[in-house]
Amino acid sequence: MTSGFTYPEVLLMRAEGYARTGKLAEAIADLNLLRRYRFKPEAPQLTVGTQDEVIAEVLKERRRELPASGIKRFLDLKRFVLDAGKSWQKTKVVHKLGAETYEAVIDSDAFILNIANTILQYNPHWNVPLDNRTF
């Protein structure tokens, strides 16, 4: 694991910023640069589409580039809840394990990261109780 940002992640952040501000050609250029080093050279280059199409491509690359076990994917899911009506918006996560199905709404208490007790102990003025769960 790395601490801080990796170059591919910075490219993806810039590409998303470009796409969300209407600079679609610049966003696609960043994506193609990233993809040039990930795929075989004969992989087709992405082309500029609508703003939503370009943002969707950037977010697909973020999903491929960022590890699923990391917090960055979790934070992406939280912020995509705000993009109502978009193809990348996800409101709940559903997992099936055998015959059991588990689901949780992303914008609920199930998707809140607790502050570590070591931080809470040094900041009693926050009036946040310590987390005394067993896990």
Domain assignment of residue 126, yes or no: no
CA distances from 105 to 65, 77, 91, 92, 98 (A): 24, 11, 6, 4, 21
Question: What is the tally of structural domains in the chain?
Answer: 1
pTM of structure: 0.71
By residue range, what is the domain housing residue 45? 7-111
Domain assignment of residue 75, yes or no: yes
Interval 48-92: pLDDT, tens: 888 889 999 898 888 888 776 667 778 888 888 888 888 888 888
Domain assignment of residue 14, yes or no: yes
**Mean pLDDT of all residues belonging to the chain:** 85
Name every residue whose Cβ is closer than 8 Å to that of residue 90 and which is 6 or more positions away in sequence.
77, 80, 81, 106
Domain assignment of residue 31, yes or no: yes
DSSP 43: S
Domain assignment of residue 74, yes or no: yes
